[in-house]
Amino acid sequence: MIKILFVCHGNICRSTMAEFIMKDIVNKQGLAEAFHIESSATHTDEIWNGVGSPVYPPARAKLREHGIGTDDNELGVSQKRARLTSRTDYDKFDFIIGMDSANIRNLNSLFGGDPDKKVYKMLEFAGREGDVADPWYTGNFDATWRDCSEGCHGLFRQILTDPRFVEVLTGFADDGELSDSMISDYTATDSDPRNNLKYDDFPRG
């Protein structure tokens, strides 16, 4: 099983949006059983007496706008509550993905470093630098959706083409193998440094 943890400051906007975008991606590919996906906070701002806040309503509305968290594709959005990242999460997850530089600093401090190279920043998987801006402050949930969606699809592409995960994914695929519509040979010229890599052809969020 491939285990992914998305992390932001409070775990009610960015990391929860990423969690459910990723769950939607793997669910639509028939690979939900191959993944364990969660999200968590670096601070307790949204955790009161041990009880976490639900998904921030504008974030939940943006997910619903894209068909996530609806009656026919609920994915656990209504049950989600913020939780604090723990030291033990480092050993539990294959990917621990912070939304911004502050999240990464907090994670490295909590874990005492990143010896197994599990900690990433979200936009690395979108092929660009920078932070996913916090819509709690910006109010721009469209931008957060785009960043999280691009990052999640990039992460899924990386997992599909990573030899470490082929056996796991194949074991959970409906027909016992990864379909050509999911992974196709990357067509490139001889001079293209990406030659012989794979690319994805799965539905976008």
117 in any annotated domain: yes
| Amino acid letter, residue 91 | D
Kindly state whether residue 132 falls inside one of the protein's structural domains: yes
Within a domain: 205: no
pLDDT tens per residue across span 154-175: 999 999 989 989 888 888 765 5
Q: What are phi and psi of 96, to 5 degrees?
A: -125, 110
Please determine, for residue 129, whether its predicted confidence score (pLDDT) is greater than 70: yes
How far is residue 200's CA from residue 91's CA, in Å, rounded to a whole number?
Answer: 29
How many separate domains does the chain show?
A: 1
Residue 183: the pLDDT is 52
Question: Does the pLDDT at position 196 exceed 70?
Answer: no
Confidence of residue 104 (pLDDT cuts 50, 70, 90): very high
Mean pLDDT of the chain: 87
How far apart are the C-alpha atoms of 53 and 39, rounded to whole Å? 13
- pTM, full prediction: 0.86
Q: CA 166 to CA 184: how far, in whole Å?
A: 14
By residue range, what is the domain housing residue 57? 2-200
Q: Which percentage of the chain shows pLDDT scores above 70?
A: 84
pLDDT grade for 191, boundaries at 50, 70 and 90: very low
Q: CATH number, domain at 13?
A: 3.40.50.2300
pLDDT band at 177 (very low <50, low <70, confident <90, very high): low
Average pLDDT score over residue span 169-196: 50
**Mean pLDDT of the region 112-128:** 96
Contacts from 72-77 at CB under 8 Å and sequence distance 24+?
73/24, 73/27, 75/20, 75/23, 75/24, 75/27, 76/20, 76/23, 77/20
pLDDT digits (tens, 9 = 90+) for 37-90: 999 999 999 999 989 999 999 999 999 999 999 999 999 999 999 999 999 999
Count the Cβ atoms, other than its own, within 10 Å of residue 175: 8
* Catalytic residue set: 8, 14, 134
Average pLDDT over residues 17-29: 96
Indicate the pLDDT class of residue 179, thresholds 50, 70 and 90.
low
What per-residue confidence (pLDDT) applies to 58? 97
